Amino acid sequence: MKSKDVFPKIRFGDLYPQIILLIAFLLSLFFKLWSFAVFFICALILSFLFTHFSSRKSALKIKHYLENAALHVGMSESMPGFPFPAVSVNTAGKITWYNSSMDKLMEGDLLFQKDITELVKCFDIKHVTEDGKYPVWKTELKNGTYSAFSHRITTKNPDDDLIMVYFLNITEQEQAEKSFRDSRFVSMAVAFDNYEEVMQGLSDEARNSVQSSIERNLQGMTSEADGIFKKTERDRYSIYLSNQALQSLINKKFPILDAAREIQNGNSIAPTLSIGIGVEGDSFNETDMFARAALDMALGRGGDQVVIKDKNQILYFGGKTREVEKRTKVKSRVIAVALRELILQSDNVIITGHKNADIDCIGAAMGIVSIARFLGKKAYIIQNECDDTAKEVVKKAIEDDVYKNVFLKRASLEDVLLPKSVLIIVDTNSPSYMELNDLLGLTEQIVLIDHHRRSADFIENPTLQYHEPYASSTCEMITEMLPYICDKNILIKVEAEALYSGIYLDTKCFTFKTGVRTLEAAAYLRRAGIDPITVKQYFKSNLETFTMRAGLIQGAKVVKDHIAISVADEVRTPSVIAQAADELLNISGIDTSFVIAKHENACVISGRSTGTINVQVILEHLGGGGHFSVAGAQVRDSSPAEVENQLMEIIETYLNEQ
């Protein structure tokens, strides 16, 4: 701004007071009123001085304001000449001005008095400050993608502040980034996950036919994606393709899974594939590691599904079939030998399970106690809460001298923790479901034994891991290991009863997930001296519990013609909620059930299915987990009605995808 602009010319209209004083002064002289003449001439001088300094102050204020605006707009002469599209916005969010570049960008659309959110949907004036921080928003305009920068120009009155918004075309940058993302390397690790079961009993010709059909489907998928296919083992494959090709497979929901199941093999078991996909690694090696970890998770969740993993999230696709029982016991023998050596090298054994432990959790823990006792090591079960059935078993166990001081609370852990203690976690694989997840950092030797499908927050890097989602229960897995620890019976009667009770509970009286190995484990325990009638007594409920369960069943409603949902505002125990969900499946025409009720500070959900719907996948969206046909979840800070609404939306989405 030039100096002459600082003192602008005084307009005639601004001199009315001085003209009046001048006339009064002249009249005083004419009539020789000297005292009045002196007064009016002094007033006239003061008036001129006041006008001069007031004009100067205003001019300086205007100069400062325009220079401040010029500084932030990046020009020295005029805002209309700014080379980038720009608009000014008042504190109400209305556009008060825009330059010619903006007018050209919007192809002549009238912007005056329009809301700024019509141009930048996520624009928020509250985040625009004058302290040098320039909020940036991304928006789509007429001819591409733009970054919208903003800055506040302040005045004495905050309501008169001016917000300047400048637009920078980043379309080419966005296209370059998309091209880079699309071309990034993606690693796929593929497993023919039920190879042994499918090939059992087939002729060599049938085996070759199944194998070649699987590989032909995989090669066809790879060729279509312009990728690389490589067979690494008889039932393992590696595939490498671009991220753009992966997005196409995601959009199609991975039809390769369905194609594998449709292969005719002369066997009652359909072939299934598990695929782990690694993306967005910092290097090829890290991306490949993500793929292998994702494949482990897919297998740990029962197979027949795709898991995609990057640094921040895990995505799941598929999971339409139930787990298939493995017919070989080689793994249980190997784990038993490794567990034996690990316990022998330890100072003692500390065992824990999941929150509100059930009889499968407690029974498995007592089975580990029997192994430690046989190997001459002291064992402790750290558990704060149990359900009603587990409490009955614990009550009976502590009557035996063998179990004196075995069951401890968390507060007593410091008294038994030694430098070489081994921690054995049973019946859960998620730290968030562990009753005492702080135990993970107290010892270097950690053993994980569980039969639930693998959760997203799987316990990382245990020293020894025995995770089999096909198993009916953790008690079955422990019982299978006992003959490899010792060829004689090492169980006392209450331990055998606890293990049998765990299998009995999780198989719903040997009707659910009951395979050959399940019955063999039950037979082993029967030979160990258990009385099935005594075991059944543990599962009897009192009249109050029976009435609560009946109330949940009575309040159920049927949706989608085959799904029963019961919702209660009253507080119910998790065992009652689970029992009600089991009972609802006994109703004709019902193949899936969900029961929702309050418990402590959360809403507890139990889901059950006859195998037509994967309740684990549904309840994972609510933070839960479990098996294909048995799952549960706990939702905090929500009412039962709100949880029901969320559940209905998830079911609707699931059924549409199927």
* Residue range 181-199: mean pLDDT, rounded: 88
- Predicted confidence at residue 426, as pLDDT, reads 95
Q: Taking residues 502-514, report their average pLDDT.
A: 87
Burial code (b: 16+ CB inside 10 Å, e: under 16) for 171-182 equals eeebeeeeeeee
**pLDDT over threshold 70, residue 171:** yes
Asked if residue 606 and residue 467 are part of one domain, the reply reads no
Average of per-residue pLDDT values in the chain: 84
Give 333 or 77, the one with higher predicted confidence. Answer: 333
- Kindly tell me the number of DSSP H helices and DSSP E strands found in the chain: 21, 23
Structural domain for 296, as ranges: 193-318
Measure the CA–CA gap between 632 and 608, rounded to whole angstroms. Answer: 9
CATH number, domain of 230, equals: 3.30.70.270
Instruction: Identify any residues that bridge with 150 across adjacent strands, giving them in sequence order.
Output: 165
Residues 6+ apart with CB under 8 A from 625: 430, 433, 452, 453, 455, 616, 619, 631, 632, 633
**End position of a domain, from candidates 538, 553, 578:** 538
Same domain flag for 460 and 570: no
Range in 34-43, 235-244, 529-538 the model is least confident about: 34-43
Q: How confident is the model at residue 8 (pLDDT cuts 50, 70, 90)?
A: very low
Do 574 and 650 fall within a single domain? Answer: yes
Terminal-residue alpha carbon distance, the chain: 70
- Percent of the chain scored above 90 by pLDDT? 34
Q: Establish if 323 belongs to a structural domain.
A: no
Residue 183 lies in a domain: no
The number of residues making up the chain comes to 658
Percent pLDDT > 70 in the chain is 90
- Enter the pTM of the model: 0.63
pLDDT band at 323 (very low <50, low <70, confident <90, very high): low
Q: How does residue 372 score in pLDDT terms, banded at 50, 70 and 90?
A: very high
Q: What is the reported pLDDT for 161?
A: 78
Q: What is the pLDDT of residue 646?
A: 93
For residue 36, being part of any structural domain is answered with yes
Residue 402 has pLDDT above 60, yes or no: yes
What's the rounded Cα separation, in Å, for the pair 501 and 509? 9
Domain shared by 470 and 590, yes or no: no
Least confident of 46-50, 232-236, 358-362: 46-50
CA distance 629 to 607: 8
> What 8-state DSSP symbol labels residue 455?
P
What is the average per-residue pLDDT within 446-458? 85
Do 467 and 375 share a domain, yes or no?
yes
Average pLDDT over residues 266-273: 80
Q: How many independent structural domains does the chain possess? A: 5
Token pair for residue 192?
A: 């023919």
Residue 77 buriedness (CB in 10 A; 0-12 / 13-18 / 19+): exposed
Task: Please say if the pLDDT value at position 327 is more than 50.
Answer: yes
Assess whether 607 and 523 both reside in one domain: no
Q: Is residue 325 part of a domain?
A: no
The pLDDT tens digits of the residues spanning 465-501 come to 998 888 889 999 999 999 999 989 999 999 999 999 9
Q: 222 pLDDT exceeds 90?
A: yes
Looking at the fold, whether 152 and 283 belong to one and the same domain comes out as no
Report yes or no: 626 and 609 within 8 Å, Cβ to Cβ.
no
Query: CA-to-CA distance for 333 and 483, rounded, in angstroms?
Result: 9
Q: What's residue 565's pLDDT?
A: 95
Nearest of 356, 361, 345 to residue 443 by alpha carbon: 345
Tens digits of residue pLDDT in 427-443? 998 888 887 777 787 88
pLDDT in tens, 575-617: 889 889 999 999 999 999 999 999 888 899 999 998 788 898 8
Domain for residue 181, yes or no? no
pLDDT at 100 over 50: yes
**Cβ contact 629:507 at 8 Å:** no
Q: What is the reported pLDDT for 321?
A: 63
Q: Domain for residue 337, yes or no? A: no
Q: What is the CATH number of the domain that holds 498?
A: 3.90.1640.10
The C-alpha atoms of residue 32 and residue 382 are separated, in whole angstroms, by 114
The CATH number of residue 139's host domain is 3.30.450.20
Residue 421 and residue 470 in one domain? yes
Do the Cβ atoms of 267 and 198 come closer than 8 Å?
yes
Q: How far is residue 250 CA from its own chain's centroid?
A: 19
Residue 331 lies in a domain: no
Note whether residue 150 is domain-resident: yes
| Residue finishing a domain among 512, 538, 564 | 538
- Tell me the mean pLDDT in the region 550-575: 91
Indicate if 369 and 465 belong to the same structural domain: yes
Which of 482, 516, 538 is the last residue in one of the domains? 538
Structural element, H or E, at residue 274: strand 273-278
Q: Are both 172 and 238 inside the same structural domain?
A: no
Q: How many other CB atoms are there within 10 angstroms of residue 611's CB atom?
A: 13
Residue-level pLDDT at 37: 75
What per-residue confidence (pLDDT) applies to 57? 64
Question: Is there a single domain that holds both residue 393 and residue 527?
Answer: yes
290 and 376 assigned to the same domain: no
The stretch 304-315 carries a mean pLDDT of 87
